[in-house]
Amino acid sequence: MFTGIITDIGRVASITAGGDTRFEIETAYAPDSIDLGASIACSGVCLTVIEKGTREGKNWFAVEASKETLEVTTAGGWQEGDALNLERALKLGDELGGHIVSGHVDAVAEIVDIRAEGDSQRFTFRAPREIMRFVAPKGSITLDGTSLTVNEVDADTFGVNLISHTQSVTTWGNLRAGDQINLEIDVLARYVARLKETEGDENV
């Protein structure tokens, strides 16, 4: 489990294709502090550490992504040099600063507009219609691993506001209209929607 509070901006150092695709990711995390088998959310995708180390003065860890992961997340388009939002798994006693995040991506959304609002930026996203029923104004959502609050919702688009601090400590400051991002709906929204469906079935 994660909270959607980004603690490092990593960078894809190398990609090796195989049965699964191996990514080596440079990070500020000390290798000694990373356990093999640990989960790290990489731009919202929960991946398992299989190797770690230091090379040429840079810390790194390696993960593998399956064919399915590459197909249903933005990981299939990651290139060497790409920046990734990183978050380590939540530990008992850690502050829950965002909201409960599983690291299981529900859909890929597209940035359709970015406009300035004071010192902040208003991002508008287009998501699959089957996902939009889980998106509610003032509700939580995870975008590229970042816990954010939904401002407004339309038929197939929604908007969020990103303050300048968030843009400076994540990859959001470098994203542009047309870019694709990983989207994870709020787990509470998922269960509320399922409960309503169940209640509807019982009333038939």
Q: What is the pTM of this model?
A: 0.91
User: 18-68 pLDDT, tens per residue?
Assistant: 899 999 999 999 999 999 999 999 999 999 999 999 999 999 999 999 999
Indicate if the pLDDT at residue 199 is higher than 70.
no
Q: Which domains does the chain have, with CATH numbers?
A: 8-88 (2.40.30.20), 107-197 (2.40.30.20)
User: 62-100 pLDDT, tens per residue?
Assistant: 999 999 999 999 999 999 999 999 999 987 767 777 788
What confidence score (pLDDT) does residue 164 get?
Answer: 95
> How does 149-166 read in b/e, with b if 16+ C-beta sit within 10 Å?
ebeebeeebbbbbbeeeb
> Mean pLDDT lowest for which of 2-6, 72-76, 190-194?
190-194
Contacts of 51 (CB under 8 A, 6+ apart): 36, 61, 62
Neighbours of 199 (CB within 10 A): 9
Phi-psi region of 191 (alpha: psi -120 to 50; beta: other; left: phi over 0): alpha
What confidence score (pLDDT) does residue 202 get?
Answer: 56
Q: Across the chain, what does the average pLDDT equal?
A: 93
What confidence score (pLDDT) does residue 200 get?
Answer: 60
Q: How far apart are the first and last CA of the chain?
A: 37
Euclidean distance between CA atoms 194 and 192, whole angstroms = 5
Cα–Cα distances in angstroms (integers) from residue 77 to residues 65, 82, 111, 182, in the given order: 12, 10, 16, 12
Give residue 204's pLDDT band: very low, low, confident or very high (50, 70, 90).
Answer: very low
**Unique residue bearing structure tokens 């440079």:** 26
Helix or strand holding residue 7 (H, E) = none
Cβ atoms of 125 and 148 within 8 Å: the answer is no
Please report which residue ranges of the chain form alpha helices under DSSP H: 67-72, 129-132, 164-169, 187-203
> Mean pLDDT lowest for which of 43-52, 116-125, 127-136, 183-192?
183-192
29: tokens are 């995390």
